[in-house]
Amino acid sequence: MKILIAEGAIDDDLVPRLQAALQRHNPIDEVWIRSPGGNARVGNEAGRILRQIMLPTRIPAGWACFSACNFLFMGGAARFVDPGGLFIVHMFTHTGNRSAIEAEVLRGTENTVGLIGEIEQESAMLASEDNDFLIRMGVSRKLLTEVMYRQKAVAEQGSDRSTRRCLTQGEALRYNVANMR
């Protein structure tokens, strides 16, 4: 089998790198994925590229696919999460830059309301894009409503500071994240 190893951050340059690798190493039998995530929209775009050429994706044992990597992986026509492979989800956030938020709050109510409006609009757009992507890839939209969007967006005070969750093998199959055993 000819395997393309796709690892590293999902950054703004991923799509051209992926296209070049696919062309350079054609034909490819399977794409093995390991990534801490990155740009969600780029992950969606890269996943659509993999689906367009009907490549299978795999998360091998001991490898992890987190955040934007989830969408790259779900682009696979056949998707394998090997036992010991980690498909880790979280709720996206547009509030990661705390210092920028604090600066806007200090500037006053009008700026804060404007910032909140921008965050709400951007979040709604990304949620809609995620939903559309899952429908097109044949993944249950319940993955979003029952798992991803139920995770905390940011770590809060208190005993439970978790913001991410790893799907079990059963969940990966139930939500059709993994569609092959």
Average pLDDT of the residues in 87-108: 72
Rounded Cα distance, 86 and 17, in Å:
24
5/108: higher pLDDT? 5
CATH 3.10.180.10, domain 3-174, yes or no: no
Residue with tokens 């429908």: 135
Residue 159's pLDDT band (cuts 50, 70, 90): low
Instruction: For residue 74, give the nearest of 27, 146, 152, 138 by alpha carbon.
Output: 138
What is the average pLDDT across 46-53?
Answer: 98
Predicted local confidence at residue 137, as pLDDT:
97
pLDDT score for 127 = 85
Q: What is the pTM of this model?
A: 0.85
CA 20 to chain centre: 22
pLDDT at position 43 over 90? yes
Can you give the residue ranges of every domain in the chain? 3-174
Looking at the predicted structure, is the pLDDT value of residue 75 above 80? yes
